[in-house]
Structure 1
Amino acid sequence: MKNIDKIFSALKELNEKYNSTLISTEELLEEEENIKELPQIDERMNKILANLSQIEDKEKLTSELLQLHLVIGDIEWQFDQIHEMVRQVIENIED
């Protein structure tokens, strides 16, 4: 997930190069807040993955897998947000 941060940094640099015409300040601030959540998401995923192999009870295992499903959803959302920003930059560069 470190790549999301690198992508965001590259987009911020491009935005500065183009006099902040590619991405609004509001969107940059919002995405910055999203990126601050990445370490917690990563920590949750690592915790779940560490627990999976130790769980014997099927009900507890199902619960833990559900938590993994939710974490993967959070990761997908983060990638989707940065992907949308890339599309926006493409559109605004072409204008």
Structure 2
Amino acid sequence: MDKKLEGILDILDNLNSSINIVNKEDLDELYENLEDFRMLTKDLDVILNNFGSLDKNNGDEIEKMLFELHRIITTFEWHFSEISDLNTKILKNYQDKINND
């Protein structure tokens, strides 16, 4: 999935390079965030791989795992939201920019 997000950023970066709707620092930050996304994916893999060994009768252990899942899911949402916001900025302004230049 991280390669697909990077592909989306590449498209947005390419489009933005000719119209400069979004500043380069914002784009660079999203590229840097991809490493955090990769780490998050690894955290999720650990949970998925270890779920079978959890004691389903141990409420503390299950609660800890569920809180960790919540953290991962909400952070995934944040990453997608940031890229979506960038896409929306370009979407709202692209046509006007290319028609006015």
Q: Same fold (TM over 0.5)?
A: yes
| Interval containing the TM-score (normalised by the shorter chain) | 0.7 to 0.9
Q: CA RMSD in A?
A: 1.3
Matches within 5 A, 1:1-95: 1-2=1-2, 3-16=4-17, 18-19=18-19, 21-56=20-55, 57-95=58-96
Identity of aligned residues (%): 25
| Higher fraction of helix | 2
Query: Larger radius of gyration, structure 1 or 2?
Result: 2
Contact 1:22 1:92 in 2 (8 A): yes
Q: Which runs of 4+ in 1 moved over 4 A?
A: none
Q: TM-score, normalised by structure 2?
A: 0.83
| Structure 2 segments unaligned to the other structure (5+ residues) | 97-101
Letter in 1 for 2:93: N
| Structure 1 segments unaligned to the other structure (5+ residues) | none
d(CA) in 1 for partners of 2:25 and 2:72?
A: 26
Q: TM-score, normalised by structure 1?
A: 0.88
Q: How many residues align?
A: 93
